[in-house]
Amino acid sequence: MTGLRERKKEQTRRRIAEVALRLFAERGYDAVTVNEIAATAEVAKVTLFKYFPTKESLVLEGVAEEDLAQIVSARPAGQSPLAALRAHYLATAPDDCPDEEPRDEQAREALITRMGVIFDNPALSAAAGELLHRQRQELARVLAHDHDELTAALMAAQITATILTVQETFYRRLVAGASLADAGLRLGSDVRLAFDLLENGIDPSKGR
């Protein structure tokens, strides 16, 4: 019974999110009200707010969702912060490229729609930037346990900028027509390159 209840909750949550993104994409974020979303999703407004406490959260859920500070804090003894983060991001990238299924294409289109809504709205873009800024600050706070404040801040800035660049590259591939499976497969090599550069530094003599 508990499993069925949880599945129904997840279905309701997914339906609300899908309806919201569709309306935002069709008419613009500012033109759509929470009441309209609830009515179209066939849920009460109070139900919508149980899943999404603000209108912004209907779009920004999943943005900067990785808790970098927690990943570093929870790493095993003897493992470096960069090694812990590398392992985390490699675990999110598939090792092979399975046959694309309909839900794969649906997930791809949903991601493209979500990012398009964010990029098209200055307030949402600013809110997403603030989430990333807080993520960087929390990471710097954890890194400061083993480094001076400036070193920790510089490390956090480099790490978050690198991760953001990898994620943006993944998104651009989807927009260019890559399947979610293909883009995900290339994500693994991007993560390895990114953390190799973070760990070893940039040698300007290479690539000449």
Which phi-psi region, left, alpha or beta, contains residue 89 (left: φ > 0; alpha: ψ -120 to 50)? alpha
Asked which of 13, 36, 58 is the last residue of a domain, the reply is: 58
Is 94 found in the same domain as 159?
yes
Residue 175 lies inside a defined structural domain of this protein: yes
pLDDT of 50-103, one tens digit each? Answer: 999 999 999 987 676 678 999 999 999 999 999 999 999 998 876 544 444 555
Asked which of 42, 58, 74 is the last residue of a domain, the reply is: 58
Is the entire prediction scored with pTM above 0.75?
A: yes
Residue 208 lies inside a defined structural domain of this protein: no
Is 163 found in the same domain as 92?
yes
Q: What pLDDT is attached to residue 104? A: 66
**Residue for token digits 């990012």?**
115
pLDDT of 118-176, one tens digit each? Answer: 888 999 999 988 888 999 999 999 999 999 999 999 999 999 999 999 988 988 888 88
Is 86 found in the same domain as 127?
yes
Q: State the number of CA atoms in the 13 A half-sphere of 27 facing the CB.
A: 10
Q: What's the domain range around 111?
A: 62-200
